[in-house]
Amino acid sequence: MKAEIITIGDEILIGQIVDTNSQWIGQELNKIGVAVYQISSIQDERQHILNALSEAQNRADIVILTGGLGPTKDDITKKTLAEYFKDSAIVEYPEVIQNIERILKKVNHPFNKVQKYQAQLPSKATMLMNRFGTAPGMWFYENNTVFISLPGVPYEMKGLITNEVLPRLEKEFKLPVIIHKTIMTYGTGESVIAERIVDWEEALPTHIKLAYLPSFGRVRLRLSAKGNNREVLEQEIEQKIIELNEYITDITLGLEEGDSIEKSVGRLLTINNKTLCTAESMTGGKIASTIVSVPGSSAYYQGSYITYNVSLKEKLLDVPKEVIINNSSVSFDVAKAMAVNARKKLKTDYSIAVTGNAGPTTDNNDIDIGVVYIAIANGDKVDVKKFDFGQPREKVINRTVTKALELLQRNILEN
For residue 92, the model assigns a pLDDT of: 93
> Are residue 183 and residue 271 in the same domain, yes or no?
no
- pLDDT confidence bin for 59, thresholds 50/70/90: very high
> pLDDT tens digits, residue range 65-86?
999 887 777 778 999 999 999 9
- Residue ranges of E strands in 288-339: 301-306
Q: Which helix (H) or strand (E) holds 163?
A: none
Phi, psi of 195 (to 5 degrees): -70, -35
Interval 135-172: pLDDT, tens? 999 999 998 999 999 999 999 999 999 999 999 999 99
Tell which of 225, 255, 285 closes a domain.
255
Residue type for position 26: G
Does residue 240 share a domain with residue 185?
yes
Does one domain contain both 123 and 9?
A: yes
pLDDT computed for residue 259 by the predictor:
66
Residues 217 and 272 occupy one common structural domain: no
Q: In the chain, pLDDT over 70 holds for what percent of residues?
A: 97
pLDDT at 258 > cutoff 60: no
Neighbouring CB atoms inside 10 A of 154's CB total 13
Q: Helices in 60-125 by DSSP H: which ranges?
A: 77-84, 94-106, 113-117
Name which of 231, 255, 226 is nearest 241 in CA terms. Answer: 255
Say which CATH number the domain at 67 has.
3.40.980.10
What's the per-residue H, E or C state across 168-202?
HHHHHCCCCEEEEEEEEEECCCHHHHHHHCHHHHH
Do residues 291 and 369 share a domain? yes
Are residues 58 and 121 located together in one domain of the fold?
A: yes
Residues 340 and 246 in one domain: no
Q: Average model confidence (pLDDT) for the chain?
A: 91
Residue range of the domain that includes 226: 177-255
For 298-321, what is each residue's pLDDT tens digit?
999 999 999 999 999 999 999 999
Q: Which of 65-79, 85-99, 379-393 has the lowest mean pLDDT?
A: 65-79
- Residue 362's pLDDT is 67
What are the angstrom distances between the C-alpha of 412 and each of 186, 217, 271?
15, 18, 11
Lowest-pLDDT range of 129-138, 181-190, 297-306 = 181-190
Q: What is the pLDDT at residue 129?
A: 95
Please give the DSSP secondary-structure letter assigned to residue 161. Answer: I
- Range 159-168 contact pairs with CB under 8 angstroms and sequence separation of 24 or more: 159/130, 159/131, 159/132, 160/128, 160/130, 161/24, 161/25, 161/28, 162/28, 163/131, 164/128, 164/129, 164/137, 164/139, 165/64, 165/128, 165/137, 165/139, 166/28, 166/29, 166/32, 168/139
Residue 224 phi/psi, 5° resolution?
-125, 130
- The pTM (predicted TM-score) of the whole model is 0.65
Q: How many domains does the chain have?
A: 3
Residues 105 and 33 in one domain: yes
What integer pLDDT is reported at residue 106 of this predicted model? 85
Question: In this structure, what are the phi and psi dihedrals at residue 15, rounded to the nearest 5 degrees?
Answer: 80, 15
Give CA–CA dist 112/110, Å, rounded.
6
pLDDT at 343 over 80: yes
Q: What is the pLDDT of residues 203-228, one digit of tens each?
A: 999 999 999 998 766 798 999 998 98
Residue length of the chain:
415
